[in-house]
Amino acid sequence: MINDQFVVNPTTEQMEDSELDLMMAGTDSAILMIEGFCDFLTEEKLLQAVETGQVAIREICKAIDVLVQTCGKKKMVEAINLPPAELYRHVEDISGDELVKALQIKEKIPRRKALSALEEKVIMILSEQGYVSKDELSGPIENLADIVEEEDEDEVIEDGEVDEGDVHIKPVSRKPHRQLFSEVDVKLVFKEVSSKYLRRRIVEGEKRSDGRSACELRPINSQCGILPRAHGSALFTRGETQALAVVTLGDYQMAQRIDTLVDTEESKSFYLQYTFPPSSVGEVGRTGAPNRREIGHGMLAERA
């Protein structure tokens, strides 16, 4: 935003005088991601910036569509194995009221445990009813005995049947078979149904799972001086999310050196390192070099 005017895809020189740095990703009908910061702009200005960005995204999508029509290849949609539509009905019939009650649990961990237990219950019931297959792929299963039959020595070949030696191939239509689903499809559908129920609950004006309305923030609390021997420390809490920040002071020789494409030396006197170990959310995972999420969140926090 330069001189109170929104500039799409500004240059590096223009960004030095800009009051807004906003990056957006989306489609011609929806915004998928927003990231950036501003210099104390009003909410109305930010909404105008998002609308301006959405218009630019639509133009890019139109150009992509023209390019696809000109030299694009046909998508292999036949290779996509989507869960059968019948499975959604089975999952909703079984979970139903229990799913609604599980989504109303305020605490995050008990809610996750309740949803996980309900998911296992859905799989168990579908297995008992003969709907779940242990194979990864789902679909109607046909037995060979329903298609062919062994030939008896004294059997006479009737008109309409083809003699293939030991086997008669029946020309009649095959028997209808029960649709079998894989556990992977059941879990995928259960997740989609849970998201649909939760979204419908919020859209219809009810409260979210933790009891908040759609426009209500989580409780925020901060404490300073948590670590007595560090130069600075603070514990920030928002709902059930916590962040421990530690500050270390140093002289100019401890500044971070930046490698650039030009023959000039640059350095940063402030840099932030973000760590998100799997143990912080009760999970087990790899620890070591920063992953993509830690690098991205660290850059966001540093810019803020």
Residue 112: name the closest of 45, 210, 43 by CA.
210
CA 262-268-270 angle, 5° bins: 160
Q: Which among 83, 25, 19, 16 is positioned nearest to 54, based on CA atoms?
A: 25
Rounded to whole angstroms, what are the CA distances from 64 to 46, 69, 72, 139, 274?
27, 9, 10, 36, 36
Going by DSSP bridges, is the β-strand pair 162-163/139-140 parallel, antiparallel, or unpaired? unpaired
pLDDT higher at 225 or 131: 225
Q: What is the mean pLDDT of residues 8-22?
A: 89
Give, rounded to a whole angstrom, the gap between the first and last alpha carbons of the chain.
18
Q: Which pairing describes strands 132-133 and 148-150: parallel, antiparallel, or unpaired?
A: unpaired
CATH architecture of 81-141+177-216: Orthogonal Bundle (1.10)
State both tokens at 166: 């030991």
12-19: average pLDDT: 87
Q: Which of 9-18, 82-91, 178-187, 224-233 has the lowest mean pLDDT?
A: 178-187
Q: How confident is the model at residue 169 (pLDDT cuts 50, 70, 90)?
A: very low
49: amino acid identity, one letter: A
Q: What percent of the chain has pLDDT over 70?
A: 85
Owner of token pair 């002289």: 251
Delimit the domains of the chain by residue range. Answer: 12-71, 81-141+177-216, 144-175, 220-303
Predicted confidence (pLDDT) per residue in 47-63, tens digit: 999 999 999 999 999 99
